Structure 1
Amino acid sequence: MRKVIIPVLICLLTITGCSKRYDEQTITEAKKVATSYIENNYKSVESIKLEEPYRGQMGSLKVDGTVNEIGFSISFNEDLTFKGISTEEKFPERKDECKDTSCEY
């Protein structure tokens, strides 16, 4: 019986440990930074829709969403500054002045 309980507990701890919930202030700030980053670094942004922030596999806070109905995932450093973004095909192009380095957001 013990041999079954220990692996089950380990699995439960692993699963629940990866689903860290963030407080409202952190959620609000992450969404604000994500919106600002996209608006200031990409051309032709007509609409931005964001999902709830979550903890990614590597431990950083992430927000998924769409810009003009095209998906993206943005990740943040611990201080909620921009870390990286992955985008789907046909995502809006970066602004010319923001291609080499991110523009102020």
Structure 2
Amino acid sequence: MKRIHFFLLLSLVVLGSCSVNSNSENYSEETIEKAKASVESYIINNYQNIESVEFQESPSAPMGRLVLEGTVNKKATFNIGVNDDFTVGSIGMGEGFPEPKEECKEQSCDYEVGK
């Protein structure tokens, strides 16, 4: 019986700490707009046939890192982790995301950061 109480209490503590951490970062509108500009520039400069880049309304901050989600060309989804200096740190691409430009396959091409 004590073991069940211990695991229940442990589970509640772990779940509670996860929800506190996920909302611990509040980013200003200026920060979000700079991050969006960097992400849009990154996508346009590194991928083929980009017609549009749209963002979801509210960014997330799992583990304290700003993550922007959206769509490219109104169909392919993405989520991009943005570093503190507004550079792109990681990218997750959904099905149908455009192919990288030939010159950007080995190394990311230049893009405007935080403007």
The TM-score normalised by the length of structure 1 is: 0.81
| Aligned residues with identical type, % of pairs | 41
The answer for the alignment partner of 1:33 in structure 2 is 38
Equivalent position amino acid for 2:102 in 1: D
The structure 2 residue matched to 1:18, chosen from 19, 22, 29, is 22
Deviations 1:41-73 (A, max 9, x none): 0001111111232212x3321100000111001
Alpha-carbon offset, residue 24 of structure 1: 1.1
The answer for the alignment partner of 2:100 in structure 1 is 94
The TM-score normalised by the length of structure 2 is: 0.75
Q: Structure 2: give runs of 5+ residues left out of the alignment.
A: 1-8
Q: Structure 1: give runs of 5+ residues left out of the alignment.
A: none
The higher-RCO structure (CA 8 Å, 6+ apart) is 2
The structure 1 residue matched to 2:81, chosen from 66, 75, 95, is 75
Q: Does 1:55 align with 2:61?
A: yes
Q: Select the structure of larger CA radius of gyration.
A: 2
Equivalent position amino acid for 1:79 in 2: D
- Pairs aligned (count): 97
| 2:35 alignment partner, SS class | helix
